Structure 1
Amino acid sequence: MSFKYDEKLDLYSWNSQTIIIEKIKPNSSVLEFGCANGRLTKHLNKEMGCKVTIVEIDEESGKEASKYATECFLGNERGNIEKYYWSEINEKFDYIVFADVLEHLYSPDKVLGKCKKILKEDGLILISIPNVANYSIINQLLKGEFNYTEVGLLDNTHLRFFTKKTFKNMIEKIGYFVESIVALQAYVKKTNDVTLIDNICKVSSESQTYQYIFSISLTNIKDSFEEVLDNRLQYSYYLSNENNKFEIAEVNIDKYKLTEHKVSLNIAGQTSSFFLRFDPIETNCIIRLGKVFIPTILGNKEIKLIGNNSDFNDNEVYFFSTEDPQFIFEVENTYDENEIIIEFELLNYDLQNYIKCLFPYLKTEIEKNLSLSYELDSRIKWYEEQIILKEKDIKSYEEDFKNKIKWYEEQIHIKDEKIKWFEKHIELKDECIENYKDEISDKIRKYEKEIELKDIEISEKNNKLEKICNNFILRLFIKDKN
């Protein structure tokens, strides 16, 4: 059977559990009342080396917590705080813890009185209680209502109700001193009863507090106790002036929960382009930024984000380790517009261990990257195998190439030798040709001379023949004449 107070320990936000853990030194002795399934017990024992004694009325849950305890008081008899079996313990503790427990008891003052004899002189009792003066209860009372719920401020098992003042008076009456008070505050939801409930919330920080964490001691450790209010849950915005320097426009003192928000920023009077700086909270945080726009009659005009001081962001989720997160927007040409709407979701804030808080996100990213890495490793292995095969192919090609080069070099050498042979024979032929040329030239000259002589001889014979012919003709003529 699941006990309704069996929850996981949230170490990543500012809550009663982490505030109590901060007060406890490692390797201390701790008496924890109402440990449920041991979410705090386990952390104190395993992570901080503390010796923890537990008292739990729900036996089933207590058995689970007992794995991390040195001594246990469990069940309806021994685990019932107001039957005081625990008060017979023969030791004194460094710390006694009542985390959301005293409001469930009939006589919390008597229980605290019994604790005095088992608390060390310099020890602390760490107590978290719900605040009955919270605005949500006041609002119910104003409507004539007082409705119990399964869990929360009006948990249906609460027997006693406290304000900061009444609880402080009670513990001082018992003889304890207040070492510190931490107030955890929540966003005051807008109601229709604006005049009354809003005015109450403005004048009283106590109405915004849903839980107090008291640290009390047997001796007056400090001259005055420390009171811490969670007043970081407020946003502010700044507008740039004509010198492009930011001037604060408004600080909104409304507190808010881990939920989605839509805030309206007044920009009336801005008639030209300017820069807007939006500070969503006054502590480290994780924020998902949504739409940022100016509503106009023609529709929403988007505003451009130009800067932020986050450590990194992914899918519009911004991780800030700084205590002063900032977004800077550039707003162009505003005339009749009066407001800018910024939608965002505060996912977590005031992270006690910023790196641990990032771990689930980083783990997911690492797993995705590991998956990608495995895929890349597989691809790389395949490529390496392909490279080895290609290298073998290359070596084979290199051998073939070398052999071919050698063959071509041999062929070239053979061709060179042939060329040399041809060149030599051409040279010989050239010599022969030159010799033939000379011989032919001599013969030509000889023949030319012979022709010349023949021409002379022919000419002489022609002359002689002509003379003979002339003589013959002359004789014939003479003969005819006679």
Structure 2
Amino acid sequence: MNYKEQYSHKDKMYYLHRRTEIIPFVPAAIKIALDVGCATGGFGALLKENFGCEVWGVEPDAGSADEASKNIDVVINDLFTANLPQLAGKKFDAIFFNDVLEHLQDPDKALLACKHLLNLNGVIIASIPNIRWYPVILSLLRYKDFKYENAGVMDRTHLRFFTKKSMIRMFEENGYKVIAAEGINPSNFKYYKILNFLLLNTQSDMNYPQFVIVAKHP
């Protein structure tokens, strides 16, 4: 199954999220950013509104890329690789992967490619789904099921699955220093709270469907 077939079932809203919850992690002095998997450019537009920065995007879906070109400065309609000619010689203050790394066959290659695209103090900011999110664990333990869905943590187009611990390890093994790893969009399920209490508050990561990783190349 090719890329277009894999994503053909996606609802239009899948490409429209602005991701306001990522804004607190963005460096205040950002001047130029690269949004990998920029969809229709909603997040990039938000960056421009809040920071007045230049925004480039990479988006493999042609329709989304065309829409993104109306919202951000430069859009590359292609898969993200180390050899994109449009990125040759470019340097960015921040490179974003908003729920993208888990869709890649080899996310390590993507992180390695970013080393040549970051300014001296540049950072990678990645939102990554958390497979230890309480509903997923409940499905495994109570219902004995690993059920794929059209979106979310169990998106059927995810090729990789991560916990907070393995997210950090992935960045560190690729030569990055993780400077933040924080949960976003907390769920606060009733039974999760009880479980976490009984386990001496050691399961707080299960409350978050995603974590944001901020990392820099030392």
Which whole-Å CA distance do the structure 1 matches of 2:33 and 2:175 have between them?
A: 21
1:97 is aligned to 2:128: no
Q: Specify the SS of the correspondent of 2:211.
A: strand
Deviation, 1:6, is 2.4
Higher strand share: 1
Structure 1's 84 and 5: CA in aligned 2 closer, same or farther, altered over 3 A? farther
Asked if 2 retains the 8 angstrom alpha-carbon contact of 1:125 and 1:217, the reply is yes
**Larger relative contact order (CA 8 Å, sep ≥ 6):** 2
Asked if 2 retains the 8 angstrom alpha-carbon contact of 1:201 and 1:208, the reply is no
Deviation, 1:7, is 2.5
Asked if 1 retains the 8 angstrom alpha-carbon contact of 2:98 and 2:128, the reply is yes
Structure number with bigger Rg = 1
Deviation, 1:197, is 8.3
Stretches of structure 1 lacking an aligned partner (at least 5 in a row): 220-482
Aligned to 1:157: 157
Which whole-Å CA distance do the structure 2 matches of 1:83 and 1:4 have between them?
A: 29
Aligned to 1:170: 170
Q: Where in structure 2 are the equivalents of 1:387-406 lying within 5 Å?
A: none
Deviation, 1:69, is 2.9
RMSD: 2.6
Which whole-Å CA distance do the structure 2 matches of 1:59 and 1:70 have between them?
A: 16
Aligned to 1:7: 16
Aligned to 1:181: 181
Residues 374-421 of structure 1 show CA distances to partners (whole Å, capped at 9, x for unaligned) of xxxxxxxxxxxxxxxxxxxxxxxxxxxxxxxxxxxxxxxxxxxxxxxx
User: Where does structure 1 differ by over 6 angstroms across 4 or more consecutive aligned residues?
Assistant: 194-198
Task: With the length of structure 2 as denominator, give the TM-score of the two structures.
Answer: 0.84
Deviation, 1:96, is 0.5
Q: Where in structure 2 are the equivalents of 1:8-47 lying within 5 Å?
A: 8-9=17-18, 11=20, 15=21, 17-20=22-25, 23-25=26-28, 28-47=31-50
Aligned to 1:66: 69
Deviation, 1:29, is 0.8
Residue identity (%): 33
Structure 1's 197 and 8: CA in aligned 2 closer, same or farther, altered over 3 A? closer
Which whole-Å CA distance do the structure 2 matches of 1:123 and 1:195 have between them?
A: 40
Aligned to 2:191: 190
1:145 is aligned to 2:154: no
Q: Specify the SS of the correspondent of 1:19.
A: helix
Q: Specify the SS of the correspondent of 1:57.
A: coil
Q: Where in structure 2 are the equivalents of 1:144-293 lying within 5 Å?
A: 144-184=144-184, 185-190=186-191, 199=198, 202-219=201-218
Which whole-Å CA distance do the structure 2 matches of 1:115 and 1:70 have between them?
A: 20
1:125 is aligned to 2:124: yes
Q: Which amino acid aligns with 1:93?
A: F
Asked if 1 retains the 8 angstrom alpha-carbon contact of 2:81 and 2:113, the reply is no
Which whole-Å CA distance do the structure 2 matches of 1:10 and 1:72 have between them?
A: 18
Residues 140-180 of structure 1 show CA distances to partners (whole Å, capped at 9, x for unaligned) of 11132011111111011111011111111111111000111
Which whole-Å CA distance do the structure 2 matches of 1:140 and 1:173 have between them?
A: 31
Q: How many residues align?
A: 207
Q: Specify the SS of the correspondent of 2:93.
A: strand
Asked if 2 retains the 8 angstrom alpha-carbon contact of 1:200 and 1:207, the reply is no
Stretches of structure 2 lacking an aligned partner (at least 5 in a row): 1-7
Which whole-Å CA distance do the structure 1 matches of 2:105 and 2:157 have between them?
A: 11
